[in-house]
């Protein structure tokens, strides 16, 4: 029988989502990869337990996670909840999303319609064996659905008790402003945007989304903070290991070669800080005032423990900031 680490809250900092009352751990666990139908349930359970034992209270899912079988990550998470985590439900912040295609026909394809969003969340709750989620996201903007319809659907979901808060994902600053104006009118508890962001992918800075978050008082949960593994020690020798994501992805193969010198320089700085490159990359994302939490993936419990070591050094000197800026320029 699983019994959570009694000291799980001693090291993890918890940060507010903007001006809301909701706090998230600085490091969260995303179940996008390695939690679906192809992964043994005992490994999924071990990773979730390891995360919670380290103070990770936020578990992020989506209706389509768990490829090749969309929804299987939610099913596996539901299995773990029912088997060993139900007693800790009120200590957890569980989020899921809808926006990508999930089932045949006109109502399950990509979108932001009231029909799709409400139906999808009902399915997600059944898969996860939950009465509600803490955050429900619209996964990506839908140019074919009026933003008012999407916002009204998310508002209705909260008022029905199926979610406590709402969020959006992959929305730029202009798209965020558009839906934010509707949320304000409805008094919808919108608390967070989830964009991609890393040392090598800084679009939220040029777009102004991080500054908007600070000004308007919502949080940012960033996904891919390690650039799909590029900002780890996996590719530092310039080669591409068999079975790695880069071995299956053309753009990553190109990036390994193109970014190699930059990765070596960043790694040298990380060593001087007493960190791995991946740990420094997570700490760097968290140093952005607009960022509330980084969503880290994992393929093993050891990887989660490794990411948690980031907490040993979250601050940067002015000299380190200047050096990083020069390397990334």
pLDDT digits (tens, 9 = 90+) for 187-218: 999 999 999 999 999 999 999 999 999 999 99
Q: What share of the chain is helix, strand, coil (3-state, %, to 5)?
A: 45, 15, 40
Q: What is the pLDDT of residues 146-179, one digit of tens each?
A: 999 999 999 999 999 999 999 999 999 999 999 9
Q: What is the pLDDT of residue 296?
A: 98
**What average pLDDT does the segment 28-32 reach?**
98
Rounded to an integer, the average pLDDT of 47-54 is: 98
- DSSP 8-state secondary structure symbol assigned to residue 38: T
pLDDT value at residue 250: 62
So where are the chain's domains? Answer: 14-328
Query: Residue 62 burial by CB count (10 A; 0-12/13-18/19+): exposed, middle or buried?
Result: buried
Residue 38, classified by CB atoms within 10 Å of its CB into exposed (0-12), middle (13-18) or buried (19+), is exposed
d(CA 223, CA 197): 6
pLDDT digits (tens, 9 = 90+) for 211-253: 999 999 999 999 999 998 899 998 888 766 666 665 566 666 6
Class for the domain spanning 14-328: alpha beta
User: What does each C-alpha distance from 58 to 66, 90, 133, 135 come to in angstroms?
Assistant: 18, 11, 11, 10
- The DSSP element (H or E) to which 28 belongs, if any, is strand 27-30
The pLDDT mean for the chain works out to 95
């Amino acid at each position: 029988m699983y019994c959570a680490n009694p000291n799980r809250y001693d090291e993890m900092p918890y940060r507010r989502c903007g001006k809301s009352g909701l706090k998230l751990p600085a490091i969260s666990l995303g179940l996008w990869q390695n939690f679906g139908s192809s992964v043994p349930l005992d490994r999924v359970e071990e990773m979730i337990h390891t995360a919670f034992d380290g103070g990770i209270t936020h578990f992020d899912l989506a209706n389509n996670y768990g490829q090749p079988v969309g929804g299987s990550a939610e099913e596996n998470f539901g299995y773990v909840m029912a088997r060993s985590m139900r007693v800790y439900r009120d200590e957890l912040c569980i989020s899921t999303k809808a926006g990508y295609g999930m089932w045949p026909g006109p109502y399950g394809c990509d979108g932001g319609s009231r029909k799709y969003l409400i139906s999808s969340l009902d399915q997600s709750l059944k898969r996860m064996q939950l009465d509600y989620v803490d955050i429900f996201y619209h996964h990506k903007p839908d140019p074919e659905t009026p933003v008012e319809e999407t916002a009204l659907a998310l508002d209705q979901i909260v008022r029905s008790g199926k979610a406590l808060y709402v969020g959006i994902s992959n929305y730029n600053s202009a798209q965020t402003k558009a839906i934010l104006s509707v949320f304000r009118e409805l008094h919808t508890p919108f608390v967070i945007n989830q964009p991609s962001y890393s040392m090598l992918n800084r679009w939220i800075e040029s777009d102004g989304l991080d500054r908007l978050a600070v000004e308007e008082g919502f949080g940012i949960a960033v996904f891919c903070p390690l650039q799909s593994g590029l900002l780890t020690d996996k590719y530092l020798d310039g080669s591409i290991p068999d079975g790695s994501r880069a071995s299956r992805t053309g753009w990553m193969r190109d990036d390994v070669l193109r970014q190699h010198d930059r990765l070596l320089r960043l790694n040298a700085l990380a060593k001087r800080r007493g960190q791995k490159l991946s740990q420094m990359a997570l700490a760097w994302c968290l140093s952005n005032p607009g960022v509330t939490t980084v969503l880290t993936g994992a393929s093993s419990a050891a990887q989660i423990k490794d990411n948690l070591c980031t907490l040993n050094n979250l601050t940067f000197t002015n000299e380190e900031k200047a050096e990083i800026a020069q390397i990334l320029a």
